[in-house]
Amino acid sequence: MCRLPRLRHLLASALLPALLGAGAVQAQHFELPDLSSSADAVMTQGAETRLGKAFMQHVRERLAVLDDPLLASYIESLGRSLVLADPDAEGRRFTFFLIDEPVVNAFAGPGGYIGVYAGLVLAAQTESELAAVIAHEIAHVTQRHLMRGVEDQSRLSVPATALLVAAAILGAQVSSDAGMAAIVGIQAAAIQHQINFTRENEKEADRIGISTLVRAGHDPYAMAGFFERLSRAGQIHDSAAPEFLRTHPVTSNRIAEALQRAERFGARQRPDSLRFHLTRARLRERAYDRAEQAVAHFGATLREGRYRNALAERYGYALALLRARDYGGAERELARLLAAQPSQPEFVVLEAELAQRRGRSDEALSILTQSLALSPNDWVLGTVRARLLLEQGRARQALDALEDLARLRPDDVMLYDLLEQAALKSGNRAATHRYRAERLYLLGDLEPAIRQLEIALRQRDIPYHDAAQIQARLDALREEERDRRERDDPLG
Catalytic residues: 137, 206
In contact, 130 and 276? CB cutoff 8 Å: yes
Q: Is 37 left (phi over 0), alpha (psi -120 to 50) or beta?
A: beta
* 407 Cβ contact partners less than 8 Å away, ≥ 6 residues apart: none
**106-108 vs 95-99, strand pairing mode:** unpaired
**Could you give the 3-state DSSP secondary structure of residue 65?**
strand
Instruction: Look up residue 392 and give its DSSP letter.
Output: T
**Could you give the 3-state DSSP secondary structure of residue 445?**
coil
Residue type, 2: C
* 218 Cβ contact partners less than 8 Å away, ≥ 6 residues apart: 127, 128, 131, 132, 135, 268, 270
Residue type, 182: A
| CA 192-156-52 angle, 5° bins | 90
Residues paired with 95 in a beta bridge: 113
Q: Please name the helix (run of DSSP H) or strand (run of DSSP E) that holds residue 107, with its range, or none.
A: strand 106-108
In contact, 140 and 108? CB cutoff 8 Å: yes
Distance, CA of 197 to CA of 32 (rounded, Å): 7
Is 138 exposed, middle or buried, given 0-12, 13-18 or 19+ CB atoms closer than 10 A?
buried
Half-sphere exposure (CA, 13 Å, Cβ side) for 329? 16
